[in-house]
Amino acid sequence: MATVLDRTPLHAEPKTAEAQTEPERRAGGTKGVPRSVGIGLALAALATVVWSGSFVTSRALADTVPPIQHAFWRWLIAIAAVAPFAARQAWQQRELIRQHIRFLLLASLLGVTVYNTLVNQAGVTTTAGNMGMIMAASPVLMAVYERLGGNRLGARRVTGMLVACAGVLLLVSKGSLAMDFAAGDLWVIGGAFAFGSYSAVLRRKPQEIGGLAFLFTTFVLGALMLLPVFLVSLAVQGGFTPTVGTVSPLLYVGVVSSAVAFFAWNKAISLIGAARAGVIYYLQPVCVALLSFALLGEGIGRLQVVCMVLILGGVILGSAARRR
């Protein structure tokens, strides 16, 4: 499913909860942290809800639009959507972009080229529900990366993560804990690793690169890396017929799931860190289940309700701010 907002070089911004030192945390942090944490949690929730719809569209387009072409057109639409707002800033910061091109290529590869392409491929052989539930495992990797980076997660956040993860496992296994993955499930697992790695990489984003410039640049680089595979798909599989049933979902994933959701997610990472934002991401299987119920008429049984309670409880516990 991309950045932090622009920063004025003449003014230092207040430190976020994740960026503070341990003495600052004990002293109560800096002014504005409670508000920034609330905004970060809200943005992470927004991105999570929007991305939940992407799994439904990936499944819906699996039989009409080849997965590679789905991904490529998604990013072309996303580029067109953000260009009026971001192209000028990206041009003004072209020297900074050149200096940090390796980082930008890595972020583009993980978050744009690989992640969504694997999810689209998964939609050919597995359900939207399975995709959403398996993707909910990516916050575990986010937390591992944060811990390896020297950040303390805290007992409350770890407990919340484990509770939410237990709910996801029960939901995926239908209460039996016997994992029976389809081929598509394995593609989603690869996507989960790509997304978790992308979220962790964002913490190293050069602060001098503006948010819109970063968003636009990663979209362009990711689409360029996808171009050769797109051309192969076009030659081997042929194109698809543009209809309301194909164009409308592509507009949704291109504008809402890409431009809006990636911007919101990356801003959330900058405010609260990947581990805490990852806890919110556990809401995804709940959102997918509710969307399936509302849009596809799929029933929600007792097991789903129990798992949703576990996931929501874990999210609330893990996203709560530490007491002073």
284-297 per-position pLDDT tens digit: 777 877 776 776 56
Give me the pLDDT at residue 8, please: 36
Euclidean distance between CA atoms 215 and 255, whole angstroms? 13
Give me the pLDDT at residue 202, please: 86
User: Has residue 43 got a pLDDT over 60?
Assistant: yes
Sole residue written with tokens 């959507």: 81
Q: What is the pLDDT of residues 225-270, one digit of tens each?
A: 999 999 999 999 999 999 998 999 999 999 999 999 999 998 998 8
Per DSSP, the residues of 176-196 read S------HHHHHHHHHHHHHH
User: Has residue 192 got a pLDDT over 60?
Assistant: yes
The chain-wide mean pLDDT, for the chain, equals: 80
What tokens were used for 211? Answer: 């948010």
Give me the pLDDT at residue 27, please: 38
Least Cα distance to 278 among 120, 124, 168, 190 occurs for: 168
**Percentage of residues in the chain with pLDDT exceeding 90?**
36
pTM of structure: 0.75
Task: Compute CA distances 230 → 65, 221, 312, whole Å.
Answer: 12, 14, 39
Sole residue written with tokens 């990936």: 58
Which residues, other chains included, contact 40 with Cβ-Cβ below 8 Å and sequence gap of 6+? 16, 267, 268, 270, 271, 272, 276, 277
User: Has residue 10 got a pLDDT over 60?
Assistant: no
Q: What is the pLDDT of residues 88-131, one digit of tens each?
A: 999 999 999 999 999 999 999 999 999 989 988 888 887 776 77
Give me the pLDDT at residue 94, please: 96
Instruction: Report residue 93 CA to chain centroid gap.
Output: 25
Least Cα distance to 115 among 201, 204, 198 occurs for: 198
Of 311 and 209, more confident? 209
CA-derived radius of gyration, the chain? 19
Burial of residue 247, with CB atoms counted within 10 A of its CB: 0-12 exposed, 13-18 middle, 19 or more buried: middle
Give 300's pLDDT tier (boundaries 50, 70, 90).
low
Provide mean pLDDT across the span 201-228.
93
Overall residue count recorded for the chain in this entry: 324
Give me the pLDDT at residue 99, please: 96
Give me the pLDDT at residue 88, please: 95
